[in-house]
Amino acid sequence: MRALKLETIGASKTFGTFRALDKVSLTVRAGTVHALLGENGAGKSTLVKGLVGYSPLDEGNILVDDREYAVRLPRDAHGLGIGMVYQHFTVAPGLTVAENLVLARGDLPARIHWKAERERLSAFMDGMPFKLDPDRPVAALAAGEKQKLEILKQLYLDRRLIILDEPTSVLTPQEADEVLGLMRDLAHDGQVSVLMITHKFREVTAFADDVTVLRKGALVGSCKVADTSPEALAEWMMGRSDDRTVAGERPPVDPDRGPALEVAGLEVNNDKGVRAVHGASFVVRPGEILGVAGISGNGQRELTEALLGQRKREAGAVRVHGEPYHASRREMLDRGVHSLPEEPLRNASVASMSVAENLALRSFDQAPIRRQGWRVSRRVIREQARGLIERFQVTPPDPDRPIGTLSGGNVQRAVLARELTEEVRVLIVSNPVFGLDFASVAMIHQRLMDARNRGAAVLLLSEDLDELLELADRILVIHDGELVFEAPAGRADRAELGAHMAGGGERAAS
């Protein structure tokens, strides 16, 4: 069997005074898929980065096929046949598929004989269950294709144990099933062993043989998937049962009220000057959450930026409460338009300014912070910040700390606090819980729901279908810049949405 058996004994890692990983021992059996489950910050990434030598472990032993090896550098791990597919793509977008694959080889000759390399590549591709055109530039590949390229790269390098770091976060459900099914088949065939980081229970139960759960850097448990249940795993992960559902009533949307946000025929270009949003038209009514589903990079970012005034609109009209809207500061204030863009540290706050100052970004030029027409009262800014920090449980509760030093969840809470204190009538939200822990997710979802129930029109763009199915009243699907499908959330079907997200809906229709 080519597949490796991998064992860690007492793996530990400390950053300063923070114990990121505490004496974790686990075994990946040869020819199996092993899931590594845990919340953000549980130590999963720290462990695997140690295994591949990207950031070596402080203590602990690594055993491969029952022999101990030292892994201090990526090269050591590669020598053992251990490879990793990172969460963020590590293929160069400016190079072609073939160039990326060839570069991955450690023993590249000084002069590359492209003819011979091409023959090798096509012989290799012939033996693979999925194929990619070697001459395509990587920038032109879809996310799922890039993920396949990452996996092809590992297989091309003859890796015998492949670590996947949240491999499906950028894929459609169909693509995810295809990629993971393929990995499982390769593993059961004895070709590779797979260690897969995830926080999706569905993927664990459907594709993994064994599962190990980490919490706060420590091992909670490790067992066969067949011997456990999602409920038990959730309890292992969080120390209590998963409680993500949004509480409270959900009054129906009043169809007679006029739309709060209207978008008609909106056209937006991306950074390269290529049209990224084609003729987007939709309305959001007060007291409604309109979800926009789609795979990352299908025009959501451009659409959000155009609505928030960060990007030029090429054509089309945006109206708020029936009046044309150009996202000026005046209009935002008068009509109660608020936003929660993705990556809030980059898009909605100034990292080097304090939490208090960031909380005042919407209101510093209004009374009561503005005094005598021009003076800004720092006292009022701090008082306001203290109140908001307490209400939205921002930790650490220090208004003078630069917001860039807070964790992702707390930055998002702070931005939420700023955006949801004034009267909100239109709220534009993009991937609000990306990379956050369960407690923050539940809190943010509840706040969005509260805003809706108070009568705000909420536009929610998300790559997480579960989030949309839970929160939205209606769901639109965006694919390649076009809104291709609409369904009421109550009757939406995961598989159908997934097909449209992948662009399959058009093919079926034509």
Partner 1 sequence: MVESDLSIFLLALLAGAIRVGTPFLFVSLGECLTEKGGRINLGLEGILVTGAMTGYAVSYLSGSPWLGVLAAGGAGLCLGLVHGVICSLPRVNDIAFGIALILFGTGLAFFLGKDFIQPSAPMLPSIPLGGWSDDTRVRSALNVNVLFFIGVALALVLHWGLRGTRWGLVLRLVGDHEDSAQALGYRPAGVRIVATGVGGFLAGVGGAYLSLYYPGSWNEGLSSGQGLMAVALVIFARWQPINCLWAALLFGAAGAVGPALQAIGIGWGYYLFNAIPYVLTLAVMVITCRPDRTLSGAPGELSLNR
Cβ-based nearer residue to partner 1, 108 or 350: 108
* Shortest separation between residue 71's beta carbon and partner 1, angstroms: 13
CA–CA dist 89, 399 (Å, integer): 36
Confirm if 348 and 420 have CB atoms less than 8 A apart.
Answer: no
* Shortest separation between residue 487's beta carbon and partner 1, angstroms: 33
* Shortest separation between residue 256's beta carbon and partner 1, angstroms: 39
* Shortest separation between residue 156's beta carbon and partner 1, angstroms: 12
Confirm if 94 and 139 have CB atoms less than 8 A apart.
Answer: yes
Cβ-based nearer residue to partner 1, 343 or 464: 343
DSSP H or E segment with residue 300: helix 300-308
Q: Residue 473: how many CA atoms within 13 Å on its side-chain side?
A: 22
CA–CA dist 250, 287 (Å, integer): 10
Cβ-based nearer residue to partner 1, 262 or 302: 302
Identify residue 419 by its one-letter amino acid code.
E
Confirm if 425 and 456 have CB atoms less than 8 A apart.
Answer: yes
Confirm if 148 and 179 have CB atoms less than 8 A apart.
Answer: yes
* Shortest separation between residue 312's beta carbon and partner 1, angstroms: 5
Cβ-based nearer residue to partner 1, 94 or 255: 94
Cβ-based nearer residue to partner 1, 54 or 130: 54
Cβ burial 137-157 (10 Å sphere, 16+ → b, else e):
ebeebbbbbbbbbbbbbbbbb
- Which SS3 state, helix, strand or coil, does residue 176 take? helix
CA–CA dist 378, 211 (Å, integer): 52
* Shortest separation between residue 163's beta carbon and partner 1, angstroms: 12
Residue 313 backbone class (left: φ over 0; alpha: ψ -120 to 50; beta: rest): beta
Cis peptide before 368 (omega within 30 of 0): yes
Cβ-based nearer residue to partner 1, 146 or 184: 146
* Shortest separation between residue 230's beta carbon and partner 1, angstroms: 33
* Shortest separation between residue 299's beta carbon and partner 1, angstroms: 15
Cβ-based nearer residue to partner 1, 96 or 222: 96
CA distances, 438 to each of 41, 166, 442 (Å): 11, 16, 6
Confirm if 277 and 481 have CB atoms less than 8 A apart.
Answer: yes
Cβ-based nearer residue to partner 1, 166 or 357: 166
Confirm if 491 and 503 have CB atoms less than 8 A apart.
Answer: no
DSSP H or E segment with residue 162: strand 161-165
Residues shown for the chain: 510
Cβ-based nearer residue to partner 1, 291 or 481: 481
Residue among 177, 172, 192, 184 at smallest CA distance from 208 = 184
* Shortest separation between residue 73's beta carbon and partner 1, angstroms: 8
| Strands, sheet with 261-269, edge to edge from the N-terminal-most edge strand | 275-284, 261-269, 313-320, 323-324
Binding site for partner 1 (CB under 8 A): 54, 73-75, 78, 84, 86, 88-95, 99-100, 102-104, 106, 108-112, 114, 269-273, 311-312
Cβ-based nearer residue to partner 1, 92 or 317: 92
* Shortest separation between residue 115's beta carbon and partner 1, angstroms: 11
Confirm if 376 and 370 have CB atoms less than 8 A apart.
Answer: yes
